[in-house]
Amino acid sequence: MNERIVALDVGDRRIGIAVSDRLGMTAQPIETYTRVGYGPDVRHISALAQQYETTRILCGLPRNMDGSQGGQAQKVREFASKLHEAGLSVEYYDERLTTVLAEDALLEANMSRANRKKKVDMVAAVVILQSYLDAQVAQSKRSEATNESEEEPEEEDGDILEMEDEEGNVISFVLSARISYRGEEYVLLTCAQDAGDIAKDETFIMKSTMDEEGNPCYQSLDDERMISEIYAAHLRQSEQDS
């Protein structure tokens, strides 16, 4: 049985908190915690981790849409360092889309603006954790498929794709899912290793297309709203498939 994971959406005033089930399949909301200071905040998170019998903490890491990290990301890392000093094991996960998705989910539930403000951080933590868990399942399926077959299949979910960044560095991504949206095909890619400003397990949505020679290629997207809509479509499809 897997060790549970406590996920945090860390803000200046509030921390949204979620936890995984014991099988590591689903994310469940816990609370929106109002921050007091480093000491009380760390003690509160540590107590929750102890309650759920885990030392694993997943922090959403805010990034700009170009992948760079700003001041808020540094604040999250500073808080995470305090959790690490308290004996907790901290990982990071890209949270660029989570607040938008959380707001959309609460709007669909016809929740009032006041209640949305109270719950959006907690729902964002759920989205962060569920995204991470889904990426782990995709990687696990890829490993199983590799062990069961020696053939070289066409690109399928779980395959490793290699891409060059602007500086010519080769970065490996896991093809976590294919997403059909408004007649176009997109892919959900998960970074397979730390690479510069890109963290391991950070996710990206790109448009799937072909180059002039008919080879598959992937185009980055800059529209944050469109990216969130595509990812929401992926989550709905995943729920239907399960």
Instruction: Return the closest-CA partner of residue 208 out of 171, 154, 166.
Output: 154
- Predicted local distance difference test score (pLDDT) of residue 162: 81
**Residue 86 CB burial class (10 angstroms; 0-12, 13-18, ≥19):** middle
- As a whole number of angstroms, the distance between CA 3 and CA 56 comes to 8
Whether 133 contacts 25, CB under 8 Å: yes
- Predicted local distance difference test score (pLDDT) of residue 98: 55
- Predicted local distance difference test score (pLDDT) of residue 239: 59
Query: Alpha-carbon Rg of the chain, whole angstroms?
Result: 18
Instruction: Return the closest-CA partner of residue 105 out of 160, 27, 11, 215.
Output: 27
Residues ≥6 apart with Cβ < 8 Å to 23: 1, 2
Max CA separation in the chain (angstroms): 59
- Predicted local distance difference test score (pLDDT) of residue 148: 55
Collect the ranges in the chain with pLDDT lower than 50: 65-66, 100, 102-103, 105-116, 150-154, 157
